[in-house]
Amino acid sequence: QVQLVESGGGLVQAGGSLRLSCAASGRTESTYRMAWFRQALGQERAFVAACTGSGCTTHYADSVKGRFIISRNNAKNTVYLQLNSLKPEDTAVYYCATGTTKMSDVSGEYPYWGQGTQVTVSS
């Protein structure tokens, strides 16, 4: 089992920035690929970004490419998501996920999830 705890969400004006953190504990050997998803009200959960391997090979959804940056601190078993140039459409609950070795952006491939952190961007 892997436990994931997200933090760092909040309310920010459009154009602002936030930094989300996701700390993993338990079977951290299962955190080869760590990803962020988000779910806006009334919408399905959508892939945002992923970091694969200790070197953090990155992969981004087109909607956040150039604005969001994913990174990881292996010593702390923590993955980060820097959210820049935020837009109202970025408003969602952001979830951290892990547990797959597949280069996947499909939520069903990830067995372990955090509780989510709310990001609200005002216009």
pLDDT digits (tens, 9 = 90+) for 80-111: 999 999 999 999 999 999 998 888 999 999 99
The Cα 40–Cα 46 span in angstroms is 9
Four-point Cα dihedral 83, 111, 23, 117, nearest 10: 50
Q: What percent of the chain has pLDDT over 70?
A: 100
The mean pLDDT value of the chain amounts to 96
In this prediction, residues 36-47 reach a mean pLDDT of 97
- Residues 99, 8, 69: CA angle, nearest 5 degrees: 65
Residue 31, pLDDT above cutoff 90: no
- In angstroms, the CA 100 to CA 122 distance is 34
In angstroms, the CA 91 to CA 77 distance is 26
